[in-house]
Amino acid sequence: MAASANRPTGAQRTGTTRDRMLRSAVMLLEEHGASATSVDRVLAHSRAPRGSVYHHFPGGRAQLIDEAVTAAGGFVSGLIHAAAQRAETREDVLAAVDAFFALWRGRLLERGFRAGCPVVAVAVETNDDAPQLARTAAAVFGDWREALAALLTAHGLAPERARRLAGLVIASVEGAVAMCKAERSITPLDDVAAEVHALLAAALGVRGNR
C-alpha cells in the first residue's frame, strides 16, 4: 500500500481521474494529515491535470477532502456490514471485531507506521472555517458505531450496551493507531485488541476464546 507522493502505484493510475484524485487524497490524509493535504499535493500524487480539480470538484479543496473522508469511511462501513451478514454466531461477532483491528494492524505495518486514519486526521485538524468537514467526520464515526452496534444487538446485547461498546471499539482502535504511529510499534494496538476481545467475549458470553 505504500507509495511516494510523486510516484503513484499502478492501482492509483487506474480508474477515472476523479477516482485517482480521491484515492490520493485519502493516502495523503493518512500520511500527512488534513492541513498538509493541499490541492497541489493531490495533483502531484495522482498525476491529474490541474484543470481537473474544479471540473470534478467545483467546491475545490473542501469538497475534495470531504468526499475523500466519505469514501474512506464508506469502505470501512462496507467491511462491517459484510461481516454482519456473515456472522451467524457470537464467535463470528468476535472474529469480525478482531478483523477490524487486523485491518489497521496491516496498514500500520505495510506503511511503516506512516499511515493513520484519514477520518481522525480531518476530525482533529478542522476548525470553524470548515464546519462541514467536522460534520462529515462525525457522520462517518456515527456510521461505524451504528453498524457495530447493530451487529452486537443482533447477537443478544441490549441496544444501549451495544451502542456504548461499539463506541468503545472505535475509540480504542483510533487511539491505539495514534499511539502506534508515535511509538513506531504495533504493541499498543495488539494490547488494545486483546483487551477489547476479552471484554466483548465476556459481554457476549463466549467462553474459551483466545
Quote the CA–CA distance of 181 and 103 in Å, as a whole number: 15
Asked whether 148 and 80 are in contact (CB, 8 A), the reply is yes
Residue 124 lies in a domain: yes
Task: Report which of 136, 41, 156, 31 is spatially closest to residue 90, judged by C-alpha positions.
Answer: 156
Stated pTM of the model = 0.83
Predicted local distance difference test score (pLDDT) of residue 24? 95
Residue 37 lies in a domain: yes
The model's pLDDT over 127-149, given as tens digits with 9 standing for 90+, comes to: 665 788 889 999 999 999 999 99
The model's pLDDT over 18-52, given as tens digits with 9 standing for 90+, comes to: 999 999 999 999 999 888 899 999 999 999 988 88
Instruction: Dig out the grid coordinates for 40 from the structure.
Output: 497541489
Residue 2 lies in a domain: no
Range(s) of the domain holding residue 143: 10-204
Q: Which residues of the chain have pLDDT under 70?
A: 1-15, 126-129, 208-210
Residue 192 lies in a domain: yes
Residue 100 lies in a domain: yes
Quote the CA–CA distance of 54 and 5 in Å, as a whole number: 21
Predicted local distance difference test score (pLDDT) of residue 208? 59
Q: Which CATH number covers residue 109?
A: 1.10.357.10
Predicted local distance difference test score (pLDDT) of residue 68? 95
Q: What is the largest CA-CA distance in the chain?
A: 59
Predicted local distance difference test score (pLDDT) of residue 131? 82
Please provide the average confidence, as pLDDT, over all residues in the chain.
87
Quote the CA–CA distance of 26 and 29 in Å, as a whole number: 5
Instruction: Dig out the grid coordinates for 136 from the structure.
Output: 462529515
Asked whether 186 and 101 are in contact (CB, 8 A), the reply is no
Residue 4 lies in a domain: no
Instruction: Dig out the grid coordinates for 98 from the structure.
Output: 478482531
- Number of neighbours of residue 83 by Cβ within 10 angstroms: 19
Total domains, the chain: 1
Residue 3 lies in a domain: no
Residue 1 lies in a domain: no
Predicted local distance difference test score (pLDDT) of residue 52? 84
